[in-house]
Structure 1
């Protein structure tokens, strides 16, 4: 049964009958967590890391970003799955997820401080990769609050709250970080403070209950190995969701190379490019959060997630043609604003679909982490694909690539059967 004080359960997962009312504590935890867990990582990955690399190696910056992203991808996949599995197995007075979030805040802060205050390429890369591992383990644990503590009937709204926080970080972190492309240490510190405070608020609000009395499965070599592997019985819908998650993130290279697109392709100075990026991010966060706030509750009311999500993905892809045909900062900004409407809906409903296709509530964090890791693969493959596109077709080629890939993602979502 549900613990009315904490909102937690004595077993993994909650059924509709357990929650006649919306569970506000885990919902607010996901809202603040969605912002806090992503903030510093997004600020560095999208803005401050490319800026740091441009300072270290201005001639080979495109290739170096691709190489760094390849290593980051491998680290992130492993860390997400292992972190999710370990949080599933964690028993403590603070629950299974909270220790990983708090620990991630501490270790991640130390890593990014090293990143901020060194110009030695080895230390820059090592500290970023340590943060990438910590960040993905923390994210895997935190996202499992939804299948742990929210019944299916409320997952559209809970997903929407998480999505609003995520979008606020996704775009807001760029707004802040873009102001510091010429002062990276200050940008990192400000981003860390915002992300850490929001992450700790999420833990305080959610107040995950103790799970010290939750039984453990009997240890065998086979069960131990299975804790770190994708689900054998995931089913068709699980793998379609995984593919959609991957494809959704692949066009992210457009954003990764936004600074270089504005300077090297559209002829803007570094200072002007930073201003354009900040303005784009501001418009994007307004558009995404506005759509994100209403998408989840409407989805719960009409019991429909799949169709609006597929349409939202296509809405993000279609305006890619605007800066392709009119390559100016103004048209680029219009593209970002329009696509952010669909991005807000996606971020609001994405978690609702992913938690619905999970095959086993006892391994929710690990299985959800694998789905998130597919997004990580897409996100970190994005600069590799974008780098190849830039070298082959120029910066202009990024935009048709985005349309094709996102249309494929929308098709994957449409063919998921388990979700209406």
Structure 2
């Protein structure tokens, strides 16, 4: 029932319209959207700042980094600016300005050792500074070159001749030193009758080592180099072909010893890969493996034709099928690459010519003619 005493305001509908209009106003919606945008931008900026802080912190403290090593030369009277530029050039730091700022905060000054140093990607700013600081005392460094094709015994003898370690110390580290943090070491077959557990993995290269290095430090350095050189691409290709890393290392060691020129390595590798894939040629018949077996038995006389059938050793690939139980030397990168990427051939034989090049043959008859032509 209508109230006769109530007065209907002419402005009531107008006020309600304004309120409803305000509720529908795009300004209110845009204000909410703007607030969300601000929150989103603030969050994004926070993420970027956090990422930058983590990135810089990793550069300063080397929480996560590669295990590569670099030879760094610091000139006389080098300043912190000079050193930061050198470290940046070698990839040891990312931010020279941050290094300089950190050095200033730590009051390091410009007191740096001059000379040649081996520095690791895994070193923090403090560790880099310590390695280059006169306050730590000078550790003399030695340049050591391990030729491709050296056996483990020869590598041990090389370091011992330079006053580093003992034969017994190296043998103990090689046999009982654990996996050194590498899967390829953990995957080396056990109880196969190989001479040394790490045969083939002590990578031949030129190294700068401290004169007072321990046997563990030396072996670790050589394995770290193998880990870098035998990269992911080589590992994946080997796996695709059905070979383990250790099988490739053993094959590459034979290629290293059989080839005089690197250009012939892919062809020689193809001969052995072809034989390993064929039931007609179950034996690799590598003279180098017989020579290795003969030397390991204490006989260093020249290899003879009779030795090929008389040296009874699992390393003799004339008498035992497939690959030998261990590598017969430490192969270089070219031999490893050849073992992984052999030439595509139909060859099953080869012989070295007088000029040290390699003559390849598809059949035994071709091979006999090639051998006869060398006489």
TM-score (norm: length of structure 2):
0.24
Q: Which has the higher contact order (CA 8 A, sep 6+)?
A: 1
- Greater strand content: 2
- Greater helix content: 1
Larger Rg: 2
TM-score (norm: length of structure 1):
0.22
